[in-house]
Structure 1
Amino acid sequence: MRLPRRAAAATALPLLALGLAACSSSPTTANTAALSASEPRRIVSLSPTATEDLFAIGAGGQVVAVDKDSDYPANAPRTTLDPITPSAEAILRYNPDLVVVSEDSNGLVAALKKVGVTVMIEPAANTLNDAYTQIEQLGKATGHASGADSTVATMKSEIRAAVQQAGTSHADLTYYWELDPTYYSATSATFIGQIAGLFGLKNIADKVDKAADGGYPQLSSEYIVQSSPSIVFLADTVCCGATAKSVAARPGWASVQAVKVDDVAGLNDDIASRWGPRLPQLVEAIAAAVEKAPAQR
C-alpha cells in the first residue's frame, strides 16, 4: 500500500513507504565503513533527521549540502537534491567524502562506492534507542563523539522530565493521531505510537489496523467521531493548515471529547515526523495535552 506524502513522511520521514517495521538502526555495512574511515570534511545529507543530528552534535561545519526537505536548522546548506530518488551525479557535484541517507534508493550506494565515496545509511528509527544510536553513530563517523553523547544525554533528560511530570498511567485517555486531512493515522506499533505510549495512552487506530496498513491505517471520519478520543494530535498543521478550529468545524466532530474539552493539540509537522534532537519538543507537546485532558474530564 502506498501512503500519502504526509503519512509516509511521518513513518520515517523517510517518506519510505511501508516496511518500516522491518527497518533497523543497527550499523549496515555502509555504516561500518563510515565509522572506520577518517574524519570527513565534506558531508552531504539526504535525510532531514540526519541533517538535524549533524548540526546538533557539532558537525554542521563539515556539511556542504543537504536535501531539499532538510529545512532545519535554518543555516543548513539546503539544495534541490532529492532524497527519494537521489542522483549520484548531482551529489558528486559537491565533492563529498561522506553521504548520509535514510535508505539506499536508486542504486545510490553502489554508484557512490564506485568512485570511493562512503555512504552511511541511517533508516527510520523504530524506537527511541534507535534514534539515540544513530546520533552516536554520526558522532563517531564525523569526529564528534562527545557532541553526540551530550546531545543524547540532553534528549534523554528532557524526555524523562516531560514523561515524569505528565505521568505514565493514562489508560483512561484515548487519542487520535492525524497525519493528514484524509485521516491517515499511526498505531501504537509505530515510532510515533511508541512515543505517545510513554504516557500510557490508548490509540483508537489500533482496533482497525490491518497488516497491509503497516501501522498507518486510514480511518474514517465516522469512526473517529464514534470513538470520541480524549485527545486529538494534529501532525498536519503546516502541510495542510489543520487547526483546532478547523477540526471542530468538521461534520459531527463537535461531539468528540477532545473537541468538547478543547484538547486538540497542533504539532509542528516536521518535529512530529523526525526522530532527531528535537524529539523532546514532541514529547513535551504530548505531555502538555495529557496534563490538560484529566483536568477537563
Structure 2
Amino acid sequence: MRPVRALGTAVMISALTLAAGCGSGEKAPDEAAGGAVTVQAANGAVTIPAVPKRIVSLSPTHTETLFAIGAGPQVVAVDEYSTHPANTPKTKLSGFKPNAEAIIAHKPDLVVLSDDMDGIVKALEKVKVPVLLEPAATKLDEAYDEIMDLGTATGRTGEATKLTGDIRAKIQQTVAASSKGKGLTYYHELDNQLHTVTSKTFIGQVYGLFGLQNIADKAEKAAGGYPQLSREYLVKSDPALIFLGDTKCCGQNASVVAKRPGWQDLTAVKKDGVIELDDDIASRWGPRLPDFVKAIGDAVQKAPAAQ
C-alpha cells in the first residue's frame, strides 16, 4: 500500500518532529504538498482532493496513529473503542456495525477504517466521501506501511516517517537486549475460553522476534491462526511464559488464572511467568507496538533459561 502523490511538486519534509497531541505547539499539516494525493489502500487507489480537516476514524489503531503523527486536530469523530489518547473525540459510532448516515452527519472529508463491515466503504464512496480501508496488519511491514498511508492522506508524511523510524528503532533495541528467548515456550491468551494465536498471526510474529516457541502451533484446528486450546492440551504443554491479553475484557490476572483447574502446577504459574498485558496495546498494530514488545522483552529476561 505504497502512497503515490498526484502532484509531482510534493516534497517530503523529513526534518519535522513528531507532534505530541493537541495544543498551541501543534504543527499544521504539510499544506505545501498542495492538491490531491492518491493512496493505495485495501479498497484500491483512493484520491483525497485536499488535506482533510474533518476525519472520522472507525479503527482504534488508526485513531492512535492519527494522533501520534499530529493529525489529532483534524479528527472530528472516532468510534466507541478508540480510547487512546484520552482526548479523542469519542462518539457512539461503531466500526463493527457502521451506520453511513451517522458517519455522514459528521461531514467527514476522510473516513479511516480497518474493516469493511456491511458494505460501509461503498456506501460512503457513493456519496463521494474518501475512504481509506487499512485492514489489521498481518506483518510488521504492513503496520509501517499503513502509518505512512495515513501520513500521506493527512499531510503528515514527515511525522509518519519519523514515527515508523522510532517504532523500528525501539523494537530493535528491545529485541537486541533480550537474549534469553530462544527455546522458551509461551501461550498468549485472548480470552478466558483459551482462544489464542499461532506464530503465523501478527501477534505471533511479534513473539517470534525473540525466538519464543508458541505452544499453539501444534494444536489441532489451528486454521486461521486463532485456535481454541483445551485445558488438557495447555496443561500438558506447560508453557514457560503465559501472556494474558484479556485483563480488561475478562478480568484475568496472575492470581485468577492460578486458581484454574490444573494451572497451579504450570511452570509459568510457579515461577512468576504469568504476564498481565494491556488488552488494547497487545491487540493493536500502531504507535504503541513498542510497548507490547517491551513487555515481552522484560518477561523474557526474567524467565528461567530454556532447558
TM-score of the superposed pair, with normalisation by structure 1: 0.87
- 2:195 equivalent in structure 1: 184
- Tell which has more relative contact order, 1 or 2 (C-alpha 8 A, sep 6+): 1
Deviation at 1:223, TM superposition (A): 1.1
CA contact under 8 A between 1:209 and 1:215: conserved in structure 2? no
- Which amino acid in structure 2 is aligned with residue 52 of structure 1? E
CA contact under 8 A between 1:209 and 1:216: conserved in structure 2? no
CA contact under 8 A between 1:65 and 1:77: conserved in structure 2? yes
Matches within 5 A, 1:1-297: 27-28=40-41, 30=43, 32-34=45-47, 36-167=48-179, 170-210=181-221, 213-294=223-304
Structure with higher helix content: 1
Equivalent-residue separation in structure 2 for 1:111 and 1:192 (angstroms)? 32
Secondary structure at the aligned position of 1:95 is classed as: coil
Secondary structure at the aligned position of 2:45 is classed as: helix
Secondary structure at the aligned position of 1:166 is classed as: coil
- Which amino acid in structure 1 is aligned with residue 53 of structure 2? R
Deviation at 1:248, TM superposition (A): 1.2
- 1:19 equivalent in structure 2: none
Secondary structure at the aligned position of 2:147 is classed as: helix
CA contact under 8 A between 2:183 and 2:306: conserved in structure 1? no
Equivalent-residue separation in structure 2 for 1:283 and 1:209 (angstroms)? 27
CA contact under 8 A between 2:82 and 2:90: conserved in structure 1? yes
User: Where does structure 1 lack aligned partners over 5 or more consecutive residues?
Assistant: 1-25
CA contact under 8 A between 1:261 and 1:296: conserved in structure 2? no
Equivalent-residue separation in structure 1 for 2:220 and 2:177 (angstroms)? 31
Deviation at 1:296, TM superposition (A): 9.3
Q: Which has the larger radius of gyration?
A: 2
- Which amino acid in structure 2 is aligned with residue 82 of structure 1? S
How many residues end up aligned between the 2 structures?
269
Deviations 1:15-56 (A, max 9, x none): xxxxxxxxxxx933646324x531111000000000000000
Secondary structure at the aligned position of 1:250 is classed as: coil
Equivalent-residue separation in structure 2 for 1:48 and 1:29 (angstroms)? 18
Secondary structure at the aligned position of 1:233 is classed as: strand
Equivalent-residue separation in structure 1 for 2:235 and 2:69 (angstroms)? 43
User: Where does structure 2 lack aligned partners over 5 or more consecutive residues?
Assistant: 1-38
Deviations 1:125-170 (A, max 9, x none): 0011110000000000000001101111111111111100002x63
Secondary structure at the aligned position of 1:155 is classed as: helix
Deviations 1:144-199 (A, max 9, x none): 001101111111111111100002x6332100110000000000010010000000
CA contact under 8 A between 1:37 and 1:141: conserved in structure 2? no
- Which amino acid in structure 2 is aligned with residue 33 of structure 1? V
Q: What RMSD over aligned residues (CA atoms) do the two structures have, in Å?
A: 1.6
| Percent identity for Structure 1 against Structure 2 | 54
- Which amino acid in structure 2 is aligned with residue 40 of structure 1? P
- Which amino acid in structure 1 is aligned with residue 287 of structure 2? P
